[in-house]
Amino acid sequence: MLRRLDAGKLASLILAHAREYAFLTFESDGRITSWSPGAERMFGYAEAEMIGDLIDKTFTQSDQAAGAPERERDTARRTGQAENSRWHCRKDGERFWGNGVTLRIDDTEAGEFLKILRDETRIKLADEQRVLLLNELNHRVKNTLATVQSIAEQTLRAGQVDTKVRDSLTSRLQALSDAHNILVTESWAGADLRTIVERALAPHRHAELDVFAIDGPPVRVSPHQAVSIALALHELATNALKYGALSVPAGKVSISWNLAYSGDGHRHLSFLWVESGGPEVVKPTHKGFGTRLISRTFSAQNGGQVAIDYALEGLRCVMEMNLSHADEIPFAAP
């Protein structure tokens, strides 16, 4: 027969051995009534030093002056709990990032509270380092793209290259820059496909007459795939502006996509671009840069394929590709 462990003894064992957590109780006025071994280890104060002292002592001076301890108690009194994530002070003056919660443990006005706190300084510092490195990466990428664009423009101009060629290269570099801006916004943790589509088509959209119909479920793609898809959309839109539906006021472009999962968790994207209302389509006699770029982006090497139909009523492009496994693309931190 199993012997039932006394609740008080069980609580004592938890408090004694949960050394990564600080457990402390205090009254409504902030006077500490209990101080666990984990709290002693975290803050550096012995139990005898803290019993009867104010919990305000564990806050920084600026938080004390701003009334943070009182607000935390008031929130816990009104709602039953108050979350706490902030820098705290140890006895020796060292700061640490504490993450925890204060709970009201009875219903009386002059009740008692339990605070549970965990030292997450290493996690906090690692996250700040990640943000610092990410910002540096963003800065370097933007500067590099701006430098490449400037060098290309100056070189082509000095070589008296045709203006159309210069403008074409500049627009492609701008499309690349716009794709990277999306990734910057998403902290380089992949990107939303609808955002990529809308950003790529933004230069061709007008408030008074939107020629695009966009439809598709939420899909996140990897940074590499985001750039590739953005460039492919740029080429399709540029071609439509020169020869297709975007070259006349009555033209329309329908864009849609769908997502499918295979049995092993891999994702497959199908993407459709359909033009209508434009001039009669004439099939080109040779493949241009845009067609070759799209074919490489959605190539068999990526588990995909491209089918371009130069129908008289409007160009139709069907693109398919395997996406990164869903678990490989994290969501950006809010």
Asked if residue 334 is part of any domain, the answer here is no
Q: Do 148 and 61 reside in the same domain of the chain? A: no
pLDDT value of position 314: 92
Q: Based on the fold, state whether residues 291 and 164 are members of the same structural domain.
A: yes
The pLDDT, as a whole number, for residue 187 is 59
Backbone φ and ψ for 15, nearest 5 degrees, come out as: -65, -35
Q: Which of 107-121, 174-188, 311-325 has the lowest average pLDDT?
A: 174-188
Write out the residue range of the structural domain in which residue 11 sits: 7-119
Highest mean pLDDT among 78-82, 123-127, 158-162, 186-190: 78-82
Same domain, 133 and 51: no
Q: Could you say which of 65, 97, 119 is where a domain stops?
A: 119
pLDDT digits (tens, 9 = 90+) for 290-325: 778 788 777 755 677 888 899 888 999 998 888 865
Q: Does 4 score more than 70 pLDDT? A: no
Are 162 and 70 members of one domain?
no
How far apart (Å, rounded) are the C-alpha atoms in residues 45 and 322? 57
| Residue 73 and residue 46 in one domain | yes
130, 98: one domain = no
pTM above 0.75, yes or no: no
In this structure, what token pair is assigned to residue 217?
Answer: 């479920």
Q: How many folded domains does the chain comprise?
A: 2
Q: Are residues 113 and 195 in the same domain?
A: no
Give the Cα separation of 166 and 202 in Å (integer).
21
Q: Tell me if 161 is assigned to some domain.
A: yes
CATH of the domain at 53: 3.30.450.20
Residue 75: the pLDDT is 93
Q: What is the domain-level CATH number for residue 304?
A: 3.30.565.10
Residue with tokens 């039932």, as numbered in its chain = 4
- Residue after which a domain boundary falls, among 62, 89, 119: 119
254 and 316 both lie in a single domain: yes
What end-to-end distance do the CA atoms of the chain give, in Å? 51
Residues 134 and 92 in one domain: no
Cα dihedral 228→231→236→240 (10° resolution): 170
Question: Does residue 2 lie within any of the structural domains?
Answer: no
Residue 52 makes CB contacts below 8 A (sequence gap 6+) with 31, 32
- Same-domain pairing of 138 and 59: no
Please tell me whether residues 214 and 269 are part of one structural domain.
yes
pLDDT, residue 191, reads 81
Give the residue from 16, 64, 59 showing the smallest Cα distance to 41.
16
Q: Compare 189 and 79 and report the one with higher pLDDT.
A: 79
Q: Do 64 and 149 fall into the same domain?
A: no
How confident is the model over 83-100, as a mean pLDDT? 91
Q: Is the pLDDT of residue 119 over 70?
A: yes
Residue 1 lies in a domain: no
Q: Domain boundary residue among 70, 102, 119?
A: 119
Percent of the chain with pLDDT over 90: 35
Could you tell me if residue 255 is inside a domain?
yes
pLDDT of res. 1: 43
Give tens-digit pLDDT for 134-155. Answer: 777 767 777 776 777 677 777 7
Kindly state whether residue 86 falls inside one of the protein's structural domains: yes
d(CA 191, CA 64): 41
Domain assignment of residue 225, yes or no? yes
- How are the residues of the chain apportioned to helix, strand and coil, as percentages rounded to the nearest 5? 45, 25, 30
Tell me, yes or no, whether 52 lies in a domain.
Answer: yes
More confident residue, 208 or 63: 63
